[in-house]
Amino acid sequence: MTYSGLDFIILVPNPARSIDSIRKPSATRPQVLYVYTHILRTVQGTLRKSPWFDDHVYLGDKHWSILTGVHVPTGLPVRFSCGDGLPSSIEYIQDYLAEYPSARPLYMTVRLILETRAL
């Protein structure tokens, strides 16, 4: 039983969206989703050819936005998704842990509890 997984974000630049702009509905969103799906299907094909993943790789049903798999030798779950930048939550957590290093064990414990309960 594994207590963690690996999440990969494949960064795909979206030239139609400015980094400094506020997130708004995008006219190019369908094209961006198509590119994301194409990239994730390519990753899926590559991983399925690997003996370490075999057929344990699935592209999610909801908007085809997340590719999940299991590393067979370790049983470690992996998830791939595409985006035009890292989620702001990652930066927030990293800043918080840098400011309050004693919170790291608490963060790891809470994450472990949530993941073991599939939350």
Which position has the higher pLDDT, 82 or 30?
A: 82
What confidence tier does 1 reach under pLDDT thresholds 50, 70, 90?
Answer: very low
Q: What sign has the CA pseudo-torsion 88, 112, 6, 65?
A: negative
pTM over 0.75? The answer is no
Mean pLDDT of the chain: 78
pLDDT of residue 5 exceeding 60, the answer is: yes
Please give the pLDDT value at position 16. 64
Strands of 12-106 (E only): list them: 57-59, 66-71, 76-83
Backbone φ and ψ of 62, nearest 5° = -75, 100
CB 88 within 8 A of CB 22: no
Location of structure tokens 């006219």:
27
Cα–Cα distance, 103 to 39 (Å, whole number):
36
